Amino acid sequence: MAAEVRPRLTVLSGPSGVGKSTVVAHMRKVHPEVWLSVSATTRKPRPGEKHGVHYFFVADDEFDKLIANGELLEWAEFAGNRYGTPRGAVLDRLDAGEPVLLEIDLQGARQVKDSMPESQLVFLAPPSWEELVRRLTGRGTESPEVIERRLDAAKVELAAESEFDTTLVNTSVEDVARELLTLMHVV
């Protein structure tokens, strides 16, 4: 029997609207043992989101304390809100030999790569720019100003694809989830 390999931290990133959450939800339905880090955010909950499940919803001053105490592996500001990954929980899971997945933005992926160079960065790309625009405008949850900011950010994020170890194109949620699990050595 081969010696067990300590799992690498896997970071999934890509432009807003590319389907990261959908892929991760499908993947975790099939393989619930993959631990997905829950981010802290200063954003208000969307309908149906639960504290501690989708995000840790925190006030600005609480977020400031997390940064000051070095408790975040990465953090970024996006669309007027801050998001961050609690460091301790990620390291605990990796030390326990569990596969860990972070679903974060480009800024966060860069910060993780700086602090944990052994991590694996996976870029989730849309099938086309037109499809990404359709997904972002079709949500119906954001104002035109926020959508415009997300589209501008998406252009920057798409240009950073070469910084990642692997690119997966989201043409099929099932296929991408399977490819991601293979990269994480879960299947």
pLDDT tens-place string over residues 44-87: 999 999 998 889 999 999 999 999 999 999 998 877 899 999 99
Tell me the domains of the chain and their CATH numbers. 9-183 (3.40.50.300)
CB 86 within 8 A of CB 71: yes
pTM: 0.83
Separation of alpha carbons 167 and 180, rounded Å: 10
Residue-level pLDDT at 1: 45
In a 10 Å sphere around its CB, with 0-12 CB exposed, 13-18 middle and 19+ buried, how is residue 153 labelled?
Answer: middle
Residue ranges for the binding site?
14-21
What average pLDDT is seen over the chain? 89
Q: What was the pLDDT predicted at 158?
A: 93
Q: Write out pLDDT tens, residues 145-171.
A: 888 888 898 899 999 999 999 999 999
Maximum CA extent, the chain: 56
Cβ neighbours for 140, distance < 8 A, ≥ 6 positions apart: none
DSSP string, 105-116: -HHHHHHHHHH-
Number of C-alpha atoms within 13 angstroms, CB side, residue 97? 3
Annotated binding residues for ATP: 14-21
* Per-residue confidence (pLDDT) for residue 5, from 0 to 100: 57
Can you read off the two tokens belonging to residue 161?
A: 């694809």
pLDDT of residue 166: 96
Contact assessment for residue 102 and residue 112, using Cβ atoms and an 8 Å cutoff? yes
Residue-level pLDDT at 2: 45
Burial of 114: CB neighbours in 10 Å, binned 0-12, 13-18, 19+: exposed
Residue 186 pLDDT more than 80?
A: no
Split at pLDDT 50, 70, 90, the class of 112 is very high
pLDDT band, very low/low/confident/very high, at 40 (cuts 50, 70, 90): very high
Task: Please tell me whether residue 40 adopts helix, strand or coil conformation.
Answer: strand
pLDDT digits (tens, 9 = 90+) for 2-27: 445 567 899 999 998 899 989 999 99
Q: Are 72 and 66 in contact (CB under 8 A)?
A: yes
